[in-house]
Structure 1
Amino acid sequence: MTLSNVIWAQRVRVACLLFDDRGRLAARYDKVHLFDVQLPDSAECYTESATIAPGDHYVVADTPFGRLGLAVCYDLRFPEQFRAMSAQGMDLLALPAAFTAATGAAHWEILLRARAIENQCYVIAAAQGGRHDNGRETFGDSLLVDPWGLILDRLCAGPGVALGKLDQAFLRDIRQRFPVLEHRLA
């Protein structure tokens, strides 16, 4: 066992789990990009690497709805992750998150819409919102975005359900009429 394995063994992982229709674990993604930041114009500082071990690979799994990519929170800021998952045939992306109030207000919606547009996939983003016991405030604003970047539904705050149609024919049509994934240079 290497020293790095011992160090990471003392930390938890932040995982996005996919279960099948029988309740069995179908896929697991461990968050790759850790949120180690000092927010601009703020005293807020986060060091996830102090308690969290990063994952080491991306996950795209087969589902009845298409190929589902899994990601978590801060991963959203790394477009190369989603391009790699797109190359694995990703049709939709599930991304649970707890963006801070400041980063969520500034970046949440635009990043989700950008990932949907540039990868021509649906994005399902469940977002934790509200004030927490430690004083931290998360943004909320769960969204369902289509491959054209249109918001199909949103849940701004509080418990609830956001609904929308994941239309495979629309997805195929967008990809056929606007084949950006085929046009990009290597």
Structure 2
Amino acid sequence: MGRRAAGHVFMASKWVFPGGRIERADHHAASATDLDAQSAALLAREVTPSRARALALAAVRETFEETGLVLGRPAPAASVAGPWREFRALGALPDLASLTYVARAITPPGRTRRFDARFFMADADALMSKDQISGSGELDEIAWLPLDEARALELPSITRFVLAEVAERLETPNRPLPFVRMVAGRHVVSHE
């Protein structure tokens, strides 16, 4: 997880997961593997297969950009333009099969910043190196934390919810996917 810098307008000083929006290059970037069948099927209920792939690629890219961690498999280094250039220069292709889709959340109406986020998890063993932690500066501290310690941090409520979901999913991997949103002024969690 990482702590957002104090100067950020949105979620300043909060501990969050790496993340962000899909970029154009995420729609056509090469990958070493495809999404696992279960994650692909869950995402297919919400988006097209090409958008599902772009969501997974964005998760891998944003993790790399914000933390320096490479969720990939070795591949010949290639010259690629755009946001994937540094990732590919390390001799890696994204490993989408290592991702598990764990939750979706939509920010309540009326907030200055809104998102329709998909959350993924991956086993740390899928990283090319667990020790190469650096980042773009968006996160002023990056740390590996046990779930119990992470829950004690200053977290946005959705991050706390997703941490609880990850803990549950580690015990029950095939549990239904939670979808968190606001309906008629109340937070609703439904399961897909």
TM-score, L = length of structure 2: 0.31
Larger Rg computed on CA atoms: 1
Higher RCO (C-alpha 8 Å, min separation 6): 2
